Amino acid sequence: MIMKKIKIAVLGADGQLGQEFRHLHQSYEYMSFDFFSRDDCDIADQEEVRAVLLSENFDYVINCAAYTAVDKAESEQEECFLINAKACQFICNAIKGRHVRLVHFSSDYVYHVYNGFPLKETERCIPSGIYAKSKLEGENIIRASEIEALILRTSWVVSSFGHNFVKTMLKLGKDKSELNVVNDQLGTITYARHLASAVLNIITAMTSESADQSLFNQTYNFSSEGITSWYDIADRIMKDEGLSCKVQSITTAEYPTPAVRPLWSVMAKNKIREAFGLDIPHWFTALKECLLAIKADQ
């Protein structure tokens, strides 16, 4: 039985994932949330982070703030590392020595390996590019701090909030007769609402007296089930939404970008599913739910 409300600080609350926590929070009556946008708490400002996280006796800090402009990061290395890595140190410093747990989100980009099998959390990480390296450094800073932290590696995040691939395809599909989309980068989308719900369910599970508390302080993969490509997702969107735009498949080599994209982002979810008993939807389901949410927000 939960005797008191769990007090949670959500950083980066105006991003697509942060807004999903805003959307869901009223469904968790035994949790109390404080939401901090960048204007409320700039995680790149050490003193601001400290002041905010010491302002209340939080039980959990959920860090949704991140530098995610993958291509821009190649020319903005300092800012990318400041937000994705150094800011992790600021957060850890602020909560170290207190009974506060951190939930932090990382990326499939840390792997950058291809072995033909779903990537396990124990896989060797060989990040390529500034964004990928900054995300792995953030992970390592958190682990080295020895605070209690749950690190979730996720991929291809989409939502009815913010800017993402699904919303871009919907817009272009209505404006254009034909689109070229990469077909040789394989992985799965992560519907941000599913990710936020999983986090809150994990926090709920940790309140049980019988819960194995050591399960929290680990690194896990989380994304939808299945294997797909950006081309397949775009094609599915056009068909599901009845759009006449034709999607043509192209290779990564035909669409060069400043940052190197992983060709294999299929991650194994056995660890998180077994640890917390989570039901992880297939990407078909995730996409349909995301599209419905986008319609509902219009």
Spatial separation of the C-alpha atoms in residues 105 and 110, rounded to whole Å = 12
Active-site annotation holds for 231 = no
Assigned token pair, 122 = 């124990």
DSSP letter string over the chain? Answer: ---SPEEEEEESTTSHHHHHHHHHGGG-TTEEEEEE-TTT--TT-HHHHHHHHTSS--SEEEE------TTGGGT-HHHHHIIIIIHHHHHHHHHTTSS-EEEEEEEGGGT----SSPBPTTSPP---SHHHHHHHHHHHHHHHHT--EEEEEE-SEE-SSSS-HHHHHHHHHHH-SEEEEE-S-EE--EEHHHHHHHHHHHHHHTTSTTS-GGGTSSEEE---BS-EEHHHHHHHHHHHTT--PEEEEE-GGGS--SSPPPSB--B--HHHHHHH---PPBHHHHHHHHHHHHHHH-
Greatest CA separation for the chain: 58
Spatial separation of the C-alpha atoms in residues 59 and 229, rounded to whole Å = 38
- Residue of 131, 191, 220, 231 with catalytic role: 131
Residue 176 contacts residue 245 (beta carbons within 8 Å): yes
Spatial separation of the C-alpha atoms in residues 121 and 102, rounded to whole Å = 19
**Which residues are designated catalytic?**
131
